[in-house]
Amino acid sequence: MNGCFGIWRGEKNAGRSEVRVGHFHPPHEGITKSLAHMPPHEGRIFYFLSFNILPIKNLFVKQRISQSIQILACVVLWSSFHGPPQVHSQTEINSGIQPLLELDGQSIQSFIPTSIKPLILSNDIEDFLRTLEHEPPDWTQLQHPNMTEQSEHLFQFNRERDKARSGTYALMEQPIAFLWAGILRQYLPEYEGFSLALGPELTHSSWGIIRFKPINLPDYLVAIPSRALRKKLLSRQKQGEQLEIIVVCIGTLAPDESLIYAFSHDDHKDGMILPVVSIDNMMYFLKTP
């Protein structure tokens, strides 16, 4: 849009860059790239001004516009230094940076605090679903040879279940723990730990296939082993071994859409339930060979 100016607000958080756009001008690729190459300082806010003024014959009007832009630039720059910092809390950062633990013959459940309900075994998951949903869906009624019709059946069924679930506040606020799979990736000397790659675990049950869907995962996922264990892991990694871990995700069900009923992408006849969990904390355990 010609003849107008815009304010771009860029934020550098957790190593990720984001340019949030004002109302007057589209984002600028050059600014986005410049911000992406800045070092990751938590909560640093950057402001940019851009203006493109059409030729104005009236000198007085042109001077007034120029003065207005200068004043606005001062206000924006002042607010960028003196405004309240928008940073991730230390808890949010630390929730993904955790020690890498060894089970040493103990069960994972023994490490989970008693205030958190473990949903690890299929029986535990089924009991929790029965309390929350009362009965499993009739998957045959939701199936349809026409994919469009099947999607419509699933959409209506999910909406009905969401509505029926709206009064179960106690269960919705109950912290739960579930498992995902993980792999140790790059060693990060600044943390003395490893970055992680995560993937879902599938649990087969009488209700269908259960696949937990985490949301609000921490930006940093780092597993920090003990010094003795770190030396062994680095040696194994150097030999090309893939280092697998067990990831315990801890959180509460998302309030608006706690469960999603669907069909598996691998086999469209297999019903799948995806509990949607907002993550508050993580635990990492080395998987024994």
Structural contact between residues 216 and 153, judged by C-beta atoms closer than 8 angstroms:
no
Alpha-carbon distance 120 to 115, whole Å? 15
User: Residue 74: what pLDDT?
Assistant: 46
Q: What predicted TM-score, i.e. pTM, was given to this entire model?
A: 0.67
Is the pLDDT at 273 greater than 70? The verdict is: yes
Where does the pLDDT of residue 68 fall: very low under 50, low under 70, confident under 90, or very high at 90 and above? Answer: low
* E strands in 163-218: 176-188, 193-200, 203-205, 208-210, 213-215
User: Residue 64: what pLDDT?
Assistant: 54
Domain ranges of the chain: 4-82, 92-286
Alpha-carbon distance 48 to 43, whole Å? 16
**Average pLDDT rounded to a whole number, residues 268-274:** 90
pLDDT tens digits, one per residue of 235-246? 999 999 999 999
Whole-angstrom CA distances from 108 to 119, 137, 194 are 11, 30, 21
- Exposed e or buried b per residue across 160-169, where buried means at least 16 C-beta atoms within 10 angstroms of its C-beta: ebeeebeeee
Give residue for tokens 């008693």: 114
